[in-house]
Copies of this chain bind each other. A is one copy, B any other.
Amino acid sequence: MADLKSAFLNVYSQLKSELLQDPSFEFTDDSRQWVEKMLDYNVPGGKLNRGLSVIDSYRLLKDGKELTQDEIFLTSALGWCIEWLQAYFLVLDDIMDSSHTRRGQPCWFRLPNVGMIAVNDGVILRNHITRILKNHFRGKPYYVDLLDLFNEVEFQTASGQMIDLITTLEGEKDLSKYSLQQHRRIVQYKTAYYSFYLPVACALVMAGENLDNHIDVKNILVDMGIYFQVQDDYLDCFGNPETIGKIGTDIEDFKCSWLVVKALEICNEEQKKVLYENYGKPDPANVAKVKALYNELNLKGVFEDYESKSYERLVTSIEAHPSKPVQAVLKSFLGKIYRRQK
């Protein structure tokens, strides 16, 4: 596993140096240094789960057979494309959310001399994906399928961002815009496609599969992605800050969190008033009132119930799948997230 990760990081270095020598652009020294710094700051510093899972999934699809050097390189390159996609969205998301920190360091746009140039850096990150695909997959029979896949998933992610942004704009005026249905839609589009479906879809395409024949795999992974985001919302309030590595602020930030939509769904009129009066305010006293209400409504228990039902539903769907290797891929994903504490 440590080996896999260091092999994966070596591929990052190779991809980066190709991008810094791209013949389609005449780099200056300044611009080459800028891009290198921007990449090192924003691309490889996450958990790399999405990227690594392309390699894992491909191996499982190949029935656990040892991968060739070429297969390791290509699956890693696709994994990095997903990490680049994530970096692109995170750089821009932090600007839109006026965030301060990301992965334990200041957000890229907060650095002196960067500022709004970060908008274009996001665009550059996005363009690197197509450069990487062109450099390494142009001759493959599935090249156009990869382009279509990344294009569609990017579109879905951007559309999810859009409804998140618009809903928050409206929600701040009127909490009743937040609903379970709207929450599901936001997380499905903003997170699930690129975090859960995309890595497996990349592995399937590389294994020669036609994605049109795998709508059921997509549905299961999207369902899993939604469950993952509900966990994220739960942990933001009820997780251990030392374990999750940050102090949640979803209540202060007026987030359309699963907790608040669930609370809105099950509360009585009096409790609803408490939510309307206290949700989305920075004062710890307001936050405490919201948390007290969450406890009164037993949201911990409601979540635990949601978690076990989701797990059962997912296992049933997975076991209904005709292919054992595909089942193995899906079970591996589910195993990594079920009852996670961080």
Interfacial residues, chain A to chain B (CB-CB below 8 A): 22, 24-26, 28, 30-31, 34-35, 92, 95-96, 98, 113, 116-117, 119-124, 126-127, 130-131, 134, 138, 143-144, 147-148, 151-152, 154-156, 158-159, 161-163, 165-167, 169-170, 182, 185, 189
Contact = CB atoms under 8 A, between A and B. Distances in A.
> How many chain copies does the complex carry?
2
Contacts of A161: 120, 123
Contacts of A34: 162, 166
Contact of A96 (B35, B116, B156): B116
A166 B151 CA distance: 29
Contact of A185 (B26, B144, B159, B170): B26
A95 B24 CA distance: 26
**In terms of DSSP, what is the predominant structure of the interface of chain A?**
helix
Given A127-B151, A131-B155, 9 more contacts: A25-B189, A28-B182, A31-B163, A31-B166, A92-B120, A92-B123, A119-B122, A120-B162, A130-B155
Contact of A28 (B134, B147, B163): B163
A159 to B, nearest CB: 4
Nearest to A138: B148
B117 A155 contact: no
A113 B172 CA distance: 12
A185 B30 CA distance: 13
Given A96-B117, A119-B95, A130-B151, A124 B25 contact: no
